Chain A
Amino acid sequence: GEDVEQSLFLSVREGDSSVINCTYTDSSSTYLYWYKQEPGAGLQLLTYIFSNMDMKQDQRLTVLLNKKDKHLSLRIADTQTGDSAIYFCAESTGGFKTIFGAGTRLFVKA
């Protein structure tokens, strides 16, 4: 069935780049998303990429999509302590449902 997998934890130093990886199984996915969840809050849409794109850049965020390997990554340049949060990868597979990964907790050391 449909599945989205990501590692549960990532730790980086302030100022370094963070790379959060995600793999998905459904090759018919239309859009892939990255959401950010800060402590005690709901999920906030960070960025998305259409499945016919390889890369999308938005300020400090770079999304890379390897459709052949079904691999999605989110790179955060110059990571700050305010970037500490849980990052969810998600895919839209058609219909109304979106499938979410378990979330990667990013910890930024000052």
Chain B
Amino acid sequence: DVKVTQSSRYLVKRTGEKVFLECVQDMDHENMFWYRQDPGLGLRLIYFSYDVKMKEKGDIPEGYSVSREKKERFSLILESASTNQTSMYLCASSRPLTGAPGTDTQYFGPGTRLTVL
């Protein structure tokens, strides 16, 4: 079974702090993703990475950066946390469903609920 773990389930930080959210997957997946989940808005993609050291902006990258130094680990960084970044953050990784592009199935971690005061 695929296992995706996130470093914290709950996190409370102050405005202006630098925040690191860590995600690790154990199935040698090429692709990794960071989403935020807010009520009524569903999942919104922040960044994704398709290889070590490679990253692409998602739909809402502002205020965030990412790091992928090793294949199994994908970090989300809030350089200066703000109250509007209070949210549930979900990490996912994927392998191709059949090997054809565009058929990846994403496997999710348990989420990190971040509160910025």
Which A residues lie at the B interface, using CB under 8 A?
8, 30-31, 33, 35, 40-45, 48, 88, 92-98, 100-103
Contact = CB atoms under 8 A, between A and B. Distances in A.
Contact of B42 (A31, A33, A96, A102): A102
Contact of A43 (B45, B48, B58, B90): B90
Given A43-B90, A96-B50, A102-B41, A48 B102 contact: no
Given A30-B102, A42-B4, A48-B97, A100 B90 contact: no
B101 interface: yes
Interface in B17-46: 31, 35, 40-43, 45
Contact of A96 (B31, B90, B97): B31
B64 interface: no
Q: Is the interface of B mostly helix, strand, loop or mixed?
A: strand
A96 B54 CA distance: 13
Contacts of A33: 105
> Nearest 3 A-B pairs (CB), nearest first?
A102-B42, A42-B108, A94-B102
A95 B102 contact: yes
A42 B111 contact: yes
A92 B92 CA distance: 14
B31 A48 contact: no
Nearest to A100: B43
